[in-house]
Structure 1
Amino acid sequence: MNFAKIAQKLALWAGSPKTFLGAIVLLALWAISGPFFQFNDTWQLIINTSTTIITFLMVFLIQNTQNRDTDILHLKIDELLRATAEAQNAMLGLESLDLKQLEALRKHYQTMGQGEVKNLEGLEQKSNVDLNQC
């Protein structure tokens, strides 16, 4: 089994409600055990070390799955652009542009869309709404 498959399975497991509940239970057990260990340095070191190691590993796991998901999205969008007759095939190579070129392209498309009124689910948006604000 390669790293991508392992990372995908681990990401699904780590993001599950059962795993979250398990983490809450472990944290509660650690907190409850505090008086037994008199809240000493070793007791605190256990949780600090554990969370640091888990966080360190999760960063790489999340980055791997994010990169994979981004690649999949790009491929799907590329296929849609390729298959759509009206689409500009030049859009398939946007990854090679630098930030200035991307910003210029974004402004070009914003200019094309100015004044457009969209009807979403029966509600009209006014043309002065900034669609870049989330």
Structure 2
Amino acid sequence: MPSDINARVGRFDRFSTWASKLTGRPGYFVFCTLVVLIWAPTFFVFEKLTWHLIIDTITTIITFLMVALLQNSETRNEAALQHKLNAVAGGLADVLGHLAREGGDERLNERRSELHRAVGLEDDEST
């Protein structure tokens, strides 16, 4: 594991990973569809203003929390993928540097330099 990566995963990260896996399954979609189908007829039972307020509040809270959980999971996945790409690019640059020294091919040395510049480029270009 690269030295700049912390292998310790906190409770929130584990929970967000679990939530992401759960909500990404077809069964969860079926569950949500069933909830909507059960909820829809109750619209006529309750007073409309109260009913709208309750449903709007609940769905807003759930949406807000799910966005936070899923964003955490997505951010960690993107960071892991970027570390892997940097490791591959760094290794390939080393191989190209070795080949350039053996064969004296300047084009390989230029490619090696480009790859070395690309490693960590996301840190320089991100806002």
Compute the TM-score of the two structures, normalised by the length of structure 2.
0.68
Pairwise CA RMSD: 1.8
Q: 1:27: how far off?
A: 1.2
**Partner Cα separation in structure 1 for residue 125 and residue 18 of structure 2:** 34
Cα contact 2:86–2:119 (8 A) shared by 1: yes
Q: What displacement does 1:73 show?
A: 0.7
Choose which of 59, 65, 69 in structure 2 pairs with 1:61.
Answer: 69
Q: Does residue 18 of the first structure (1) align with residue 27 of the second (2)? A: yes
Alignment of 1:28-67 (within 5 A): 28-37=37-46, 39-67=47-75
Ranges in structure 2 where 5+ consecutive residues have no aligned partner: 1-9, 97-111
What is the SS of the residue equivalent to 2:43?
coil
Asked if 1:27 is matched to 2:32, the reply is no
The residue that corresponds to 1:97 in the other structure is 124
* 1:74 partnered with 2:82: yes
- CA drift of 1:49 comes to 1.1
Q: Which amino acid aligns with 1:81?
A: A
Deviation for aligned residue 1:46: 2.3
Deviation at 1:36, TM superposition (A): 2.1
* Runs (5+) with no aligned partner, structure 1: 100-134
AA paired with 2:72? N
Cα distance in 2 between the residues matched to 1:55 and 1:78: 34
Query: Percent same amino acid among aligned pairs?
Result: 32
TM-score (norm 1): 0.65
Higher relative contact order (CA 8 A, sep 6+): 2
Q: Is the 8 A contact 2:43 2:51 kept in 1?
A: yes
Residue number in structure 2 paired with 1:6? 15
In structure 2, the residue matched to 1:83 is 91
Higher helix share: 2
Amino acid at match of 1:22: F
The 2-side partners of 1:9 and 1:98 are apart by 31
1:112 corresponding residue in structure 2: none
Deviation readout 1:53-72 (Å, 9 max, x if unpaired): 01111121121011111111
